[in-house]
Amino acid sequence: MAVLLAPVFLVINSASATENDTDLYARIALVAVFALVAAALLAAIQARQLARPLERLARSAGRVGDGDFTAPSSASGIDEIDDIARSLRLSANRVDRMLEAERSFTADATHQLRTGLTGIAIRLELLERHDDPDVKAEARAVLEQTHELNDALDELLVVARKGSTGERSIVELVDIVDDHLDDWRARLDAHRRQLVVTNGRTLAVNATPGLVGQIFNVLLQNSLHHGAGTVVVLVEGAGITIEDEGHGIADADVASLFERPSDHRAAHGRGLALARRLAESDGGRLELIRRCPARFRLSYVSVHDLDGTVSAHPVSDGDRSTTSV
């Protein structure tokens, strides 16, 4: 401030000794220019001093969002920014501990489940040697489902540890849906309900077959328990659409439809939240596109959009087919 005011005082003191107004105005203009330049320089220096720690803080926050919880602890010298950095560091450490505990629990739970499934599989292998052909066929079918459940546990464990899956490949959604239809035939027949599957023009997608199958099962399970009437499955483009003839989703439930239940002891309400999490970890998207009757869509990025090549499974508009189950 003294640097800016000193020239002003000098001009005022010298103004009494001169009678030339032009000289006085020139000096005042010079002081004004000097003051503006000095103020701009000081503002630039101050802004730079503030911007550097804020940039470091923004980079730290970005790394936390990407899953890197090693937030830096260097002080900036600005109390407000240091307080924010300290809070970010404490929050990152807390989230890291929570995720580590969750990973450990998931690993332990998966190990226990796999141990139990192994015992069941051994008994089923013994039943496969039974003299009754019906018993052998049933044991073989259940044994295959046990192996599929083991694979699903492996995929869920990878997602829990890494936040995403590393098993993506080029898959056909039609093939995955077809593989799961038989599993749902008996369940729907027991409730005297019909399943209609329509295949339109499809595109190959980059996804994990096991996770797509799990999400598909969750959506059909949701329609079976909470819906009514015919369940319609449309496989078209790079997605799967599922709807039924039930009363749909209440307005009050739409906002929290894909959220985990607040009560960890709740037995229901986790399926759709898990399905969305699995879809996002696999590069897909699960959304409610119509409330009443409920219509869900699971969509992925097609291989054509990823690399600009032609899809490996184009189906002409005339090849649309419908199957009733």
Mean pLDDT of 152-175: 71
The tens digit of pLDDT for each residue in 69-109 reads: 655 556 667 777 778 878 877 887 787 777 677 767 766 67
**End of a domain among 112, 142, 162?**
162
What is the count of structural domains for the chain?
A: 3
Q: Which of 170, 146, 163 is nearest to 65 (CA)?
A: 163
Same domain, 32 and 113: no
Same domain, 273 and 149: no
Beta strands 285-290 and 239-243 are unpaired
**End of a domain among 142, 162, 182?**
162
Residue 87 lies in a domain: no
Q: Cβ contacts of residue 145 below 8 Å, gap of 6+?
A: 183
Is there a contact between 283 and 211 (Cβ–Cβ < 8 Å)? no
> What's the pLDDT at 310?
41
Distance between CA atoms of 62 and 88, rounded to whole angstroms?
Answer: 11
The CATH number assigned to the domain holding 183 equals 3.30.565.10
Distance between CA atoms of 156 and 114, rounded to whole angstroms?
Answer: 12
Q: Domain of 151?
A: 102-162
Residue 85 lies in a domain: no
Residue 94 lies in a domain: no
> What's the pLDDT at 269?
55
Q: What is the pTM of this model?
A: 0.54
**End of a domain among 44, 68, 92?**
68
Confidence of residue 198 (pLDDT cuts 50, 70, 90): very high
Q: Could you please report the per-residue DSSP string of 107-130? A: HHHHHHHHHHHHHHHHHHHHHTT-
Same domain, 189 and 290: yes
Q: Which amino acid appears at position 111 of this protein?
A: H
Distance between CA atoms of 70 and 57, rounded to whole angstroms?
Answer: 12
Residue 117 lies in a domain: yes
